[in-house]
Amino acid sequence: MTPAEADRELAAALERHKNGDLEFAYRAYLQVLKQHPDHPTALHYLGLVAQQTGHVLEAARLLRRSIQLNPGDPRTYNHLGQVLFQQDDLDEAIQLLRRGLEVDPRHVDTLNSLANVLKKQGELQQAMDVYRQVLDIDPDSVPALYNLANALKQAGDPKQAVGLFRRALQSDPTHAPSRLNLAVLLEQQGEFAPAIEQYRALLERNPDHGRALSGLLAIRSLEPDPQWLEAAERLLAGRTLESEEQVKLHTGLGKQYDRMRNYERAFHHFAAANTVLRRRGAPFDVEQVRDLFERLIRVFSVEYFANLTAGGSPSRRPIFIVGMPRSGTTLTEQILASHPQIGGAGELRSISDMSNSMSRAYPECVTGLSPAERLTLGERHLASLTQHAGAQALHVTDKLPVNFIHLGLIATVLPGARVIHCRRNPLDVGLSCFIEHFDMKNDFTHDLHNFGEYFIQYHCLMQHWRRVLPIPMYELHYEQLVADQEGETRRLLEFVGVPWYEGCLEFQATERTVMTPSRWQVRQKIYSQSVGRWRNYESHLQSLQRLLIEQGIGLGETA
């Protein structure tokens, strides 16, 4: 085989490779290498086959050899960079990709890969700058439009992200990831009709698109097509699905059966979704929770706060909305963010990141913070509020529910802050946590007994905070808010220290992107259907009910 014949063989095999015939391509590349062992293109293409079949170490070896033999092909640097990305060797991936850009600074695939690595490394702004470089070169690059849209969504700019997803679909109407992400983002913004349109478009092209089916089934305002239910049940029964798709389909079906009042069938699917989640995650460790909460109680004692010298930021800007997940924190923030003097920052990680960043053991290390250190930490959170909600609002909410864990730290570094503690019947909370899903370490929501064990520890910690916290805390009962919306809203605004504003009663009209599972609820007027919902599933909640009652937590209590 002459070099020219080898090149023709490789070109023909590559076309088959692009069309998915990996076996043919593999044999053809090997045949060329038998006669030309150092053919850089054959090594390169064989490395791609190895990458696509999961043999990343072999892929890296072949691609490195190809670069040694032909350092002038930017494509090889790009593909090796992708392999290193798969191996989580991000620093070397960046070095390789930058070397490829020295060969061709306008190679859009390499630029896009570099931006992906930077994004995974946490350099979000740098990544977005590189995606924009790609679009300067190729304004219709679907990968760059899609990736920049996702980065903007992560950075808190959903409107621009929507525009970029739409541009990607203009370039390639068949690009399913852009359509799916657009649908989800529209739903989070409360634009349910356009979201439904996008989900439907996905199903028109692929009737078995599991994520589109689950998305449609989860929208409360939509009367489901019986064919969707049949298709979802068929997908779950007929073939092996990825775990994430199983979870979403089971959850979507469960919600539809719940609306149809077929509660036994609904619970079957909710339980199936949680079985998948338990299998793929680490088991819940209640002792880890108990140990942390007992240490918090020991450190943040009455004596600790009595002896705390001046320090921290005295700003009255921060408002923390805390409680168990699904206790009404999103609704509370939506009500407050409807006030012209209050901004809603959503669920910020700054307080939990603050506790994780402390070099010594937390929470014991907090006792050693100097006044200057406490001030620095407090100002760091204030900067995060400004970043996410702007500088105009007099007050800004942070509604990460599990910040209830860190109320001692908050009172230490932000002594001017206010806390709103959202409370709700624990059986309604437990059921809702079982239905919805969260991204948490040591997750307690996938098993009702685990939920009960966690709730008991939470209940004890909140009793402690009520006794010792020197900062004001308002107890907001979800059931009272539903029963007396105006009265409870007036008391809430009075606690925050802002004048009455009628628009807070029409919170559903406030345009905000809501990332949590409550995005549907906050687009509706307050309704009472969620109060006492647990009774529809009473037979499945009896053991949880007994566990809570044994600890003195009755059904009439909310925390």
DSSP string, 197-234: HHHHHHHHH-TT-HHHHHHHHT-TTSPPPHHHHHHHHH
Q: Tens digit of pLDDT for each residue in 333-381?
A: 999 999 999 999 989 999 999 998 886 789 999 999 999 999 999 999 9
Q: Tens digit of pLDDT for each residue in 370-420?
A: 999 999 999 999 999 998 888 899 999 999 999 999 999 999 999 999 999
The rounded percent of the chain whose pLDDT value lies above 90 is 68
Give the mean model confidence (pLDDT) for residues 142-166. 93
Q: Tens digit of pLDDT for each residue in 5-34?
A: 888 888 888 888 888 888 888 888 888 888
Integer Cα distance of 282 and 423 in angstroms: 28
Is residue 64 within 8 Å of 80, Cβ to Cβ?
yes
Looking at residue 555, its pLDDT comes to 62
Looking at residue 557, its pLDDT comes to 47
CA 306 to each of CA 300, 312, 412, 468: distance values in angstroms, whole numbers, following the listed order: 10, 15, 11, 9
Burial of 381 (0-12, 13-18, 19+ CB in 10 A): buried
Give the mean model confidence (pLDDT) for residues 549-554. 87
pLDDT above 60: residue 519: no
Is residue 216 within 8 Å of 199, Cβ to Cβ?
yes
Those residues whose C-beta lies under 8 Å from the C-beta of residue 451, and which sit 6 or more positions away, are 430, 433, 434, 444, 445, 544
pLDDT above 90: residue 161: yes
What's the mean per-residue pLDDT of the chain? 90
**Residue matched to tokens 């924190």:** 329
More confident residue, 388 or 212: 212
Give the mean model confidence (pLDDT) for residues 182-192. 88
Three-state secondary-structure class, residue 10: helix
Give the mean model confidence (pLDDT) for residues 52-75. 92
Integer Cα distance of 462 and 472 in angstroms: 14
pLDDT above 50: residue 512: no
Looking at residue 10, its pLDDT comes to 85
Three-state secondary-structure class, residue 530: coil
Integer Cα distance of 19 and 14 in angstroms: 9
Cis link prior to 363 (omega < 30° from 0)?
yes
For residues 109-140, b (16+ Cβ closer than 10 Å) or e, as one string?
A: bbbbbbbbbbbeeebbeebbebbebbbeebee
Closest CA to 519 of 178, 154, 183, 166: 183
pLDDT above 70: residue 474: yes
Q: Tens digit of pLDDT for each residue in 229-249?
A: 888 898 998 767 788 889 999
- pLDDT class for 191, splitting at 50, 70, 90? confident
pLDDT above 50: residue 523: no
Integer Cα distance of 38 and 63 in angstroms: 12
Is residue 253 within 8 Å of 270, Cβ to Cβ?
no
- pLDDT class for 461, splitting at 50, 70, 90? very high
Give the mean model confidence (pLDDT) for residues 56-60. 91
What domains are there in the chain, each with its CATH number?
Answer: 286-550 (3.40.50.300)
Give the mean model confidence (pLDDT) for residues 72-80. 93
Give the mean model confidence (pLDDT) for residues 434-440. 87
pLDDT above 90: residue 281: no
Give the mean model confidence (pLDDT) for residues 112-126. 94
Looking at residue 520, its pLDDT comes to 45
